[in-house]
Chain A
């Protein structure tokens, strides 16, 4: 906590980066795994397809416009 207070404001960005480097280094391996997980999580939802409520909604809108 003392360390933080001693830092002049203009070096805060650099200090942050150093800290980040120590805490969570972004190796190519981690980045690859993260990207994979992110896409898998996303695809998981995409694979649920179109819930009925949305198909019905668009049908309803379509019919309304035809009148």
Chain B
């Protein structure tokens, strides 16, 4: 059936960006692959709720994002207790795949609140418009804009403090724990 071929093609076509989104969100390749797999399974079983002619990619991103947020809420305590566990696992993974140059950025991303992180990635990397990102995150366009702005500031602050200004200012800023919570 043609419609089915289209759907299959669109889903396959979205996989690379879904993975990039998932990895940016959770900082863990294996977990990201699980998220993508779960997203595809859910999408497939809810194909009837997809409106033909609308953006398949945005629909899949929405499913992935919601699934991640549900999981994230469940795992939050665990993550906080782990205290940098993500960063450690991430470092191990990065060494394996030798994409070391992005290590610092990935770690900095994980220090943002989940709200800011998803907004920044959707707009700043995935290439969605503010309007599309707002739909994916189920919030107002203005909220997305302010989250993206704050995320950029915070990211620059984290990277700036750690990479440039720390040379003149050896005293470390607030402990990491202070930035692991919600900014909103």
Contact = CB atoms under 8 A, between A and B. Distances in A.
Interface in A7-44: 20, 23-26, 30-31, 34-35, 37-44
Given A24-B160, A30-B156, A61 B44 contact: yes
| Majority DSSP secondary structure for residues of B touching A | helix
A3 interface: no
B124 A39 contact: yes
Contact of A62 (B4, B23, B36, B121): B4
A35 B124 contact: yes
Contacts of B159: 24, 34
B173 interface: yes
What band does the interface of chain B fall in when counting residues whose beta carbon is under 8 Å from A?
A: 35 or more
B19 to A, nearest CB: 6
B11 interface: yes
B105 A58 contact: no
Interface of A: 20, 23-26, 30-31, 34-35, 37-51, 53-55, 57-58, 61-62, 65
Given A46-B20, A61-B41, 12 more contacts: A23-B173, A24-B153, A34-B156, A38-B120, A41-B106, A42-B24, A43-B20, A50-B15, A51-B19, A54-B36, A54-B37, A65-B4
